[in-house]
Structures are given as structure tokens and as C-alpha cells.
A and B are shown apart, each in its own frame.
Chain A
Amino acid sequence: MDPVAAKYIGAGLAAIGTGAAGIGVGTLFGQFLNGALRNPSAVDGQFGRRLIFGFAVTEALGIFALLIAFLLLFAV
């Protein structure tokens, strides 16, 4: 296979990982909303610290996949 074509195909496959991170982030926020609607008084304590931090760490894994895609596209 032509290496340039293989690069582009690889980049496309790697970008699928970002969709998987989307599932994780959606689950996270969904569960947060679930709990927040049941117990609104607990929201302020948890929102800034736990939720934002958990979101960033989960999103990071999706960004790792995007990083591989970019590496294949531009750096190989």
C-alpha cells in the first residue's frame, strides 16, 4: 500500500478514539446530572472540583487518540 495512503487511513482510524472519549464524557455528565437533580444541595461542592477534574482526565484520553491522528498526518 502506498505509504501516504496508509498514513491517511491510519489517521482516520485513530480519530475513532475521540468518539469513544465522547461516550465517556457523556456518561460522566449524565451521571452528574442524574445525581444533581436528585440532590441539588450537594451540587456546588462537587461541581467545581470533582466534575471538571473528571471531565478533563477523561477528555485527555480522547485527545491522546487525536494526537496519534495528528502525528500520522503531519509528523510521519
Chain B
Amino acid sequence: MATEAGPAINPIEQFQLSKVLSINIGGHDFSLTNSSIYMILAVAVALGIMAIGARGGDGVPGRLQSLAEMAYEFVAGMVRSAAGEAGMRFFPMVFCLFLFILICNLIGLVPYSFTVTSHIIVTVALALLVFLTVVVIGVYENGLHFFKLFVPSGVPLAILPVVVIIEVISFLSRPLSHSVRLFANMLAGHITLNVFGGFVVMMLGAGAAVKALAILPFAMTIGLFSLELLVAFLQAYVFTMLTCMYLNDALHPGGH
């Protein structure tokens, strides 16, 4: 450790993509990576929970059915409160987004696994999906009335051009903040977990007096893990909530 020039703890290593199966189609790289495998795993888990959970139909639901019903009710409540009954058209997409992000986040917390959503490309893909859905559906449903979104009512004519420009910029920054929020939360969480874990190992490798103190970063790691569990749920919730709010803007531009 003393001979290395860089930091002894390397938290970035956990985010490395590694090819599992090289697939090359027409010069383009479609390889199966560890990220792809974990995405497939997340989809399989989500499918499993919902397919088996929705099968029962018991009046008094068992655990898995209860879980599936609670997930449904939670997301449906979110969509209805943010976008109204018209928003339920998008419920399948919103539900899939929520389950995918939640399960990817949770799988990432398992030791030695890989967090799919800790890569900006994944979160940008999801955020762009939402953004393009909003723009396309907005223009399709409302025509040019959709651009009324950028012209808030009750603004004095003198500053209207400035307000419109600000509104357009803030609209265009939505996919950016939407994606970076999820990405940065996952990245920061996992880097912190890795660093504190590294502290435990470093302290155990040092002298006898320091060895006893290794319990402190260990306790911190436990606390951080529970925080990361909360953040996993919270970020999935916030991503989905914002998706519903943006969809509301598409369906009812200008708030009505």
C-alpha cells in the first residue's frame, strides 16, 4: 500500500463493465456484459413477482400476491394523483419503470453484484424514454397547444420572451436532472459503501491498536447500507413520481 502512487482504495473498480459473451453484428458491439446479465435478472425477478403474484386471486391474499397487489396499488395511486384518470393509459410503462429501477437498485445492494442504474447510460436511456414519450404524446394529443406549456398565464408582456426562454431551458433540462439524480445517488452510495468497507480492511491490516478500532467503519458500513436501502426505494419512487408529473404535463399542458 505504501508503494502505490494512487489511492489504496479503488471504489471505481466495482463499476467496470466486463463482456461475458462477445456478440458482433455488422461491426457493432452487441456483447452481453455483466450489466446486461443483471438487467435480465431484474426483469426476471419482476416478471416472477408479478406473474406468480397476480395468479392467485385469493380473497385473502398470501404474501406474494399481497406484494404484487401493494406494488400495483402504490404505482396506480401515484399515477392517478399526479396525472388523473387519463394518465392510467401510461400505467404499464410507469409500473415497468418503477419495478425495473427498484429491483435494479435492490439487486445492486447484494454484495459482489453489479448496480445497473449506476451507469449514466442506463439512466439516460430511461429518462430520455420518458422525455420523448412526453413530447411525442404531448404534440400528438394537443397539437401546437402543447407549447402553451412554455407560456405561463398572467405574465406581463414585457418580460414574456425572457420567461418563455427560461421555461424552454428548464423543460429541456428535465431529462438531464431526471437521469443524473438516479445515477448520482446510486454512484455516490456505492462508492461510499466501497470506501468504508475498504477502511475496515485497511484497519484490520494495520497494527494491533488500530485493529480494535476497525469496528467503527464496520458499524458505519451497516448504517450506510440501511441508508442505501432507503435510497434505493426513494430514488425509484422519485423517478416514477416525476415521470407521472411530466406525463401530466403532456396530457394537460398548462395545468388544465
Measured in the bound complex, the distance between the Cα atoms of B178 and A64 in whole Å is: 11
Name A70's contact: one of B81, B191, B235 (CB within 8 Å): B191
Majority SS of interface residues in chain B?
Answer: helix
A49 nearest in chain B by CB position = B81
Residues of B within 8 A of A57 (CB): 181, 238
Cα(A49)–Cα(B77), bound, Å: 11
CB of B241 within 8 A of chain A? Answer: yes
Tell which of B12, B177, B237 touches A60, judged by Cβ atoms closer than 8 Å: B177
Residue of B nearest to A70 (CB): B191
A1 in contact (CB, < 8 A):
no
Please name all residues of chain A whose beta carbon is closer than 8 Å to the beta carbon of B12 when the two chains form the complex: 74-75
**Residues of chain A contacted by B241 (CB below 8 angstroms):** 53
Question: Which partner residue on chain A sits nearest B185 by CB separation?
Answer: A63
With an 8 A cutoff between CB atoms, is A52 at the interface? yes
Q: How far is the CA of A60 from the CA of B184 in the complex (A)?
A: 8
B11 sits at the interface (CB 8 A): yes
Contacts of A36 in B (CB 8 A): none
Q: Tell whether B103 is near chain A: CB-to-CB under 8 Å.
A: no
CB <8 Å contact, A63 and B237: no
Docked Cα-Cα span, A74 to B234, in Å, equals 26
Contacting pair B237 A56 (CB below 8 A): yes
A56, A60, A70: the one contacting B187 at CB < 8 Å is A70
Contact with B along A41-67 (1 / 0, CB 8 A): 000000001001100110110011011
CA of A53 to CA of B81, assembled, Å: 14
- Chain B residues near A66: list those with CB within 8 A: 184, 188
Q: Give Cα A71–Cα B234 distance, bound, in whole angstroms.
A: 23
Known contacts A60-B177, A63-B181; A52 and B188 CB within 8 A of each other: no
Cβ of B180 under 8 Å from chain A: yes
The answer to whether B81 touches A63, judged by C-beta atoms less than 8 angstroms apart, is no
Q: Which residues of A contact B (CB under 8 A)?
A: 49, 52-53, 56-57, 59-60, 63-64, 66-67, 70, 74-75
